[in-house]
Amino acid sequence: MASVVFENASRLYPGATRPAVDKLNLEIKDGEFLVLVGPSGCGKSTSLRMLAGLEEVSDGHILIGDRDVTDVPPKDRDIAMVFQNYALYPHMTVEENMGFALKIAGVEKSEIHKRVLEAAKILDLEQYLERKPKALSGGQRQRVAMGRAIVRNPQVFLMDEPLSNLDAKLRVQTRTQIASLQRRLGVTTVYVTHDQVEAMTMGDRVAVLKDGLLMQVDTPTNLYNHPNNAFVAGFIGSPSMNLLDLNFDDQGVIVEGTHIPLPSASLSAAKAEGLSTITVGFRPEDLVESPNGFPLTVDFVEILGADAYVYGPVKTADGSEKQVTVRADGRKTPNRGDVIRIQPTADHLHVFSTKTGNRLG
C-alpha cells in the first residue's frame, strides 16, 4: 500500500492549445478511496491514465509511495486496473481463476495459495474455491473477478467508470460492494466517474475537475456544505443548487425586489473585487417559507411522496429568468400559479464572485 502524489502534473496533447490536465496537485493518502469526478472532458480519465502510465506526463511528476513513477512503464508501477476484464474461465476452479495471473508472474505455488485464501476470506468465497464458475451465482462470479485483482496485492487500485455497463439496480448494489470491500482491504484506490452521486457515496474524498483543472478536493460533506466555487456548488448535489446572479447593495442581494441579507465580509469582498453582481447559491432544501422572503410564482410541482419539488422562475441581474427549485413537504404542496414567499436559511447561503466563480468571504 502507498500514497499517491500528483505534483504539478500536466498532460498536453500534441497540437492542443489547452492541457487536458493542467498542473494537477493532489495528494492521496495511504489507504484512501479518492474519487475523480467531473463532466466529460474535464481530465479525470486522463489523470487516472497518467497515474496508470497509459498517458505520458508532459510536465510535473507522479509518485507512488516514495517512488517517482513518471517514466515507469505501466506493468512496473505495481498498480491494478480493476474490472477491465470480467472473463472467468469455465474449466478452471475459483482458486485457479483467482490465482492464474500470479502463476504467470512466476509467484510460487504456496504463496499463490496463501494469497488466494486471504482474498477468498475477504470476499466470502472460501467455501467455493474448488467450484467451477458455472456453479456460482452472478454475484459470486463478480467477486471472483474482483479476487483476480486483489490477489496481486497492488499498491494502488485504479478504477475507470467500472459500473458504466451495469443497469441502474446492479450499479447501486455493486457501488456499495466496492466501497465496503475497499475499506476492508485498505488499499489506496483512485476511482473515476462522471456521476456525482457515485462520487459522493463512495469516496473518502472527492476531487472535482473541470477543463483540466482541479476545482476542489474534499470530503463529500465539505464539498456539499462548503463548495469553494460556483462550479462545485452546481455540480455536487441533486437536484442542483440554485445559483442566481443578482444585483446587490449594502444590505445584500436583491431578488424580485426583496433583499436577501448577506454577511458584510462577503459584501466587502465583492466590492473589493469591483463586482457589479454577486452569484448567490442555496440548495432546494435550504429554503423556508417566510413573509420576508422573495416571491416565487409556482410553475410546476413534482410530488415524490414525503418530499415535493416546487419550481418557479425569478429574474436575475441581466433581466433573464432562471428557474428556482424548492423542496417542500410532500403533503402540503402549493398549486400551480400560487405565489409563495421563500427565504434561504442564512447558515446555508453560499456567495460567489460572478467574475471568478470563487467563494466570497
Partner 1 sequence: MAFQVKAAPDEPDLLFLPWNHMLEEWPDEATVSLPKGISRHIVKFVRLHGIVYAIKETEQPIAEREYELLQRLGRRGVPCVEPVGVISGREDRQGHELPAALMTRHLEFSLPYRALFSSTLKPDTAIRLLDALALLLVRLHLVGFAWGDCSLSNTLFRRDAGSFAAYLVDAETGSLEGKLSDGQRSYDVDLAVTNVTGELMDLQVAGLLHETIDPIQTGEQIRERYERLWSAITSPLVMSPGERFKLDERMRKLNAMGFDVAEMMTSTPLHPSDDEIRIVMTPKVVDAGHHARRLIRLTGLDVEENQARRLLNDLDQYRLELGLKTDEEELAAHKWVTEAFEPVINAVPKGMRGKLEPAELYHEVLQHRWFMSEKAGKDVGRDKAVADYVKSILVNKPEEKAIIGSKIGSEMDDTQEMRIVFPSELEDIDEVELN
The site for partner 1 (CB under 8 A) is made up of 13-14, 49, 52-56, 73-75, 81, 84-92, 96, 100-101, 103-104, 133-134, 138, 141-142, 144-145, 164-167
Rounded to a whole number of angstroms, the minimum distance from the CB of residue 72 to partner 1 is 9
From CA 209, how far away is CA 214, in angstroms rounded? Answer: 5
How far is CA 187 from its chain centroid? 19
Residue 19: asked if its preceding bond is cis (omega within 30°), the reply is no
Rounded to a whole number of angstroms, the minimum distance from the CB of residue 182 to partner 1 is 18
**Cell numbers describing residue 75:** 506493468
Element spanning 26, H or E: strand 21-28
Instruction: Give 75 or 332: the residue with its C-beta nearer to partner 1.
Output: 75
Rounded to a whole number of angstroms, the minimum distance from the CB of residue 113 to partner 1 is 16
From CA 313, how far away is CA 8, in angstroms rounded? Answer: 43
Instruction: Give 98 or 267: the residue with its C-beta nearer to partner 1.
Output: 98
Rounded to a whole number of angstroms, the minimum distance from the CB of residue 304 to partner 1 is 19
Helices 168-185 and 109-122 pack at an angle, to 10 degrees, of 120
Instruction: Give 135 or 265: the residue with its C-beta nearer to partner 1.
Output: 135
Q: What is the DSSP letter of 239?
A: S
The count of residues in the chain is 361
**Cell numbers describing residue 115:** 494469497
From CA 187, how far away is CA 157, in angstroms rounded? Answer: 7
Instruction: Give 172 or 254: the residue with its C-beta nearer to partner 1.
Output: 172
Instruction: Give 40 or 320: the residue with its C-beta nearer to partner 1.
Output: 40
**Cell numbers describing residue 202:** 463512495
Instruction: Give 90 or 305: the residue with its C-beta nearer to partner 1.
Output: 90
Instruction: Give 142 or 316: the residue with its C-beta nearer to partner 1.
Output: 142
Q: In terms of DSSP H, where are the helices of 55-137?
A: 94-104, 109-122
* Contact (CB, 8 A) for 229 and 358: yes
User: Which residues 6+ apart lie within 8 Å of 67 measured at CB?
Assistant: none
Rounded to a whole number of angstroms, the minimum distance from the CB of residue 12 to partner 1 is 13
Rounded to a whole number of angstroms, the minimum distance from the CB of residue 49 to partner 1 is 8
Rounded to a whole number of angstroms, the minimum distance from the CB of residue 105 to partner 1 is 9
β-partners of residue 157 are 80, 189
From CA 299, how far away is CA 309, in angstroms rounded? Answer: 11
Rounded to a whole number of angstroms, the minimum distance from the CB of residue 73 to partner 1 is 6
Helix (H, G, I), strand (E, B) or coil at 126: helix
Instruction: Give 102 or 255: the residue with its C-beta nearer to partner 1.
Output: 102
